[in-house]
Amino acid sequence: MLRVGVTGGIGSGKSTVSRRLAELGAVVVDADLVAREVMEPGEPTLDAVASRFGPEVLRPDGTLDRAGLASIVFRDPSALADLDAITVPAIARRVAARRRDVARESVSVYDMPLLVERGAWVNEHLTVVVEADVETRVQRLVDQRGLEEGDARRRMAAQATDEQRRAVADVVLPNDGSPDALAGLVDALWRDRLEPWHDNLLAGRRSRRPDHGAVVPPDPRWEARGSRVVAKLAAALSGQRTVTEVSHIGSTAVPGLPAKDVIDVQVGVRELADADAATFHAALRDAGYVCTPDNLADRAKPGSGETVWAKRYWGGCDPGEVVHVHVRQRGSQGWRFALLFPDWLRHVPAERAAYAAEKQRLLALDDRTGVYSEAKEPWFDDAWVRAGEWASRTGWHP
């Protein structure tokens, strides 16, 4: 099942996006609706809120005076923290139960205003941020929800900034235009990315880079993309005691270097055999990755002292972002070189330039991915020696 988190600042239009995704076939769990449910009369959460904030937050019929409660918590950060401590666990439990009930054949969408603030974005395969200009949002809240301008701005100030949301966004949908324009963006996202991604997950099929012209100019977004992939994988594998670290590796981890548009990630494990455990496989499958069982080793470098650089290899299913996951035993030569190589290129500009030149030379001869990758091996054999000498000279260690 594909999991999609939809978020955005108050008044941005995230609920409009979620409604459109529901029309296209997704099953939406709305955190705001769940929050209302757990605060209905008879719910223990409402009793706890009344106990903390006093009976004045209840109407005569026993229902919650939402406006009254909001006027308290949005003016007092400590009161807001107390409210969160009561409501967040209750909401999270009910949301988790609802999403567990979603059929495997459906796309599960979580409409969550505070997806970023709660750190919950790491549990979604894709995070969609809906964005609109601050003044546009204020005007919507005043005109459509009847809020006073000051109240609208206080609520906005209590949420994450646009910069914080963009940092974790896989997709940003601008919503300063017409409803039809936003619907068109959502339809394109569904058609071009979500549907094929979900199909890949169900079929156990990983996404692949093109066979020709796979190397592209440096992309300044690679670093942020790599950070998001690492954070999500680390969250998915947090229950695996064998995992020692998750790292963005390869050419896209080196600023300014042409590369295949692929995010390569290394997962270090204490023992490689642990990566064959059913729980490890289940965690990576749930995170959206497919195992490639016939890719069990890297080519060993001359003089490395090991005849086989053993690993396990997984591929992501997202058609919009190719991700390769290399699982290696911590302390092995392959594990060490995967971490050393990008550090070496980042710190030695001449070597980075030499590698870029070698890439261009080989691509001019034959830009087919398999041929290009094999042709790089002699250069890597020499680079293995030079990088090792640099590590010894500088005292580098993983």
Enumerate the known binding-site residues for ATP: 11-16
What lies within 8 Å, CB to CB, of 100 at 6+ separation is: none
What single-letter amino acid sits at 33? L
Kind of pairing between the strands at 297-298 and 3-8: unpaired
Give the pair of three-digit tokens for residue 74.
């949005």
- The 3-state secondary structure of 303-365 reads CCCCCCEECEEEEECCCCCEEEEEEEECCCHHHHHHHHHHHHHHHCHHHHHHHHHHHHHHHHH
CA 363, 364, 368, 374: dihedral to nearest 10 degrees? -50
Measure the CA–CA gap between 231 and 227, rounded to whole angstroms: 6
Sign of CA dihedral 164, 170, 173, 174: positive
- Per the annotation, binding residues are 11-16
Q: Exposed e or buried b for every residue in 117-146, given b needs 16+ CB within 10 A?
A: bbebbbbbbbbbbbbbeeeebbebbeeeee
With DSSP H G I counted as helix, E B as strand and the rest as coil, what are the percentages for the chain, rounded to 5? 55, 15, 30
